[in-house]
Amino acid sequence: MKTHKLALIPGDGIGVDVTDAAMQVIRAAARRFGFQLDCRTLPWSCQYYLETGAMMPDDGIETLRDFDAIYLGAVGWPETVPDAVSLHGLLLPIRKAFNQYANIRPHRLLPGIEGPLRSGGFDILCIRENTEGEYSGAGGRVHQGKDDEVAVETSIFTRAGVERILRFGFEQAQARRGHLTSVTKSNAQKYSMVFWDEMTRQLAPEYPDVTVSHMHIDAMAAKMVMAPESLDVVVASNLFGDILTDLGAAIQGGLGYAASANICPDGSGPSMFEPVHGSAPDIARQGIANPVAAIWSGAMMLEHLDEGQAAAAILSAIETTTGRGIGARAGSHSTAEITQAVITALEEQA
Ligand code: IPM
Ligand code: MN
């Protein structure tokens, strides 16, 4: 029997609740589809930071390297640890260390869910560059706190980094409806974004079966609201992709439905799976967090681990569940009720 070695980082707040929910469903799928899980839970979180002075141990990255995949709940507890400290101590270094350069986020309406838009017929796959660009972390501050203080943060776009994410986008478009929208702001940012546009044009002839559109980020934000059904695969830089995928989450009914995968496409390190939402301190420990995004992210993890059948079965069980109105509206059901409904739907399929 195949065994998948998983590192679980529940993290903070509702990250703990939804990781538990996702793992219950994944375990149910493992029983049904005949694979085994070898899970290790790592307590890395803001609480861990308060106890040890770091979000993860010095050898944290080396520890994670041994796993087939990483599942992360959510990170952040701004009341005690500034977000810039907690995120730069855990989530962001993991994305960079394992070359998880492709952040994949699907946006579509699940059955039974009424999004804020009149039109529900959209199915968008956002591909966000995940290791460089505006998140490169190159910069500094001088004369801190003084009148002449300066803060500089430089976006870094490398040929290798841009080429690989664009190729990834083209390949995803080939596997879907054959349309790629590349999002930049090359009318204002004349170095990095013009370079990105040029790279897109250079690569396009290698993918003759893909039609390419170029859009500026501002127009794209409008399009995702006005005509989301016209979009297929969307590829964008790190920050632009971050912003667009919260918009994507909004049109699919909210952050409780937005799943994501941080993929290391060359397999040189583990990939990491996490819901798009954060730790939501205001509803932590109340048992009311929506686990759908987390469970869907778990399905993406199984897909990545070559358990395609189990992944499809979980997605279908999620659809059955929301179609039954369970977890389809904010506050209608508890985390446990939604999780159990997904497991029940999974078992009914068998
Ligand atoms: C996300 C989050 C993170 C990001 C934050 C928490 C650093 O918003 O995964 O979308 O900006 O990448
Ligand atoms: Mn975000």
DSSP element (H, E) containing 286: none
Task: Please report, rounded to a whole number, the percentage of residues in the chain having pLDDT higher than 70.
Answer: 100
Catalytic: which of 185, 207, 232, 257? 185
Average pLDDT over residues 109-131: 95
232-273: pLDDT as tens digits: 999 999 999 999 999 999 999 999 999 999 999 999 999 999
Residue 30: predicted pLDDT? 98
Residue 228: predicted pLDDT? 97
Atom of ligand 1 nearest to the CA of 91: 7
176-186: pLDDT as tens digits: 999 999 999 99
Catalytic: which of 2, 190, 191, 218? 218
43-87: pLDDT as tens digits: 999 999 999 999 999 999 999 999 999 999 999 999 999 999 999
Residue 330: predicted pLDDT? 86
Residue 52: predicted pLDDT? 98
Q: Provide φ and ψ at 198, rounded to 5°.
A: -60, -45
Q: Which of 47-51, 102-106, 119-123, 200-204 has the lowest mean pLDDT?
A: 119-123
Distance separating alpha carbons of residues 214 and 307, to the nearest angstrom: 35
242 lines ligand 1 (CB under 6 A): yes
Whole-number Cα distances in Å, 45 to 69, 94, 99, 258, 277: 18, 14, 22, 22, 16
Nearest ligand to the CA of 74 is 1
Q: Provide φ and ψ at 334, rounded to 5°.
A: -80, 165
Structure tokens at 160: 């290798």
Average pLDDT over residues 190-213: 98
CATH 3.40.718.10 residue spans of the chain: 1-104+254-350, 116-251
Q: Which of 72, 107, 242 to mutate to test the pocket of ligand 1 (most atoms within 8 A of CB)?
A: 242
Residue 241 Cα to ligand 2 midpoint, Å, equals 8
Distance separating alpha carbons of residues 309 and 326, to the nearest angstrom: 23
DSSP element (H, E) containing 192: helix 192-203
**3-state SS of the chain: helix, strand, coil percent to 5?**
45, 25, 35
Nearest ligand to the CA of 92 is 1
Residue 98: predicted pLDDT? 98
Nearest ligand to the CA of 88 is 1
Residue 131: predicted pLDDT? 98
| CATH-assigned architecture of domain 1-104+254-350 | 3-Layer(aba) Sandwich (3.40)
Q: 213 pLDDT exceeds 80?
A: yes
Q: 119 pLDDT exceeds 80?
A: no
Residue 230: predicted pLDDT? 97
Nearest CA to ligand 1 atom 5: 87
Structure tokens at 34: 């005949």
Residue 261: predicted pLDDT? 98
300-349: pLDDT as tens digits: 999 999 999 999 999 999 999 999 999 998 889 999 999 999 999 999 99
The mean pLDDT of the chain is 97
Atom of ligand 1 nearest to the CA of 130: 12
Beta strand 211-216 with 271-275 is unpaired
**Which pTM was predicted?**
0.97
Give domain 116-251's CATH number out of 2.60.120.260, 3.40.718.10, 3.40.50.10860, 3.30.70.20: 3.40.718.10
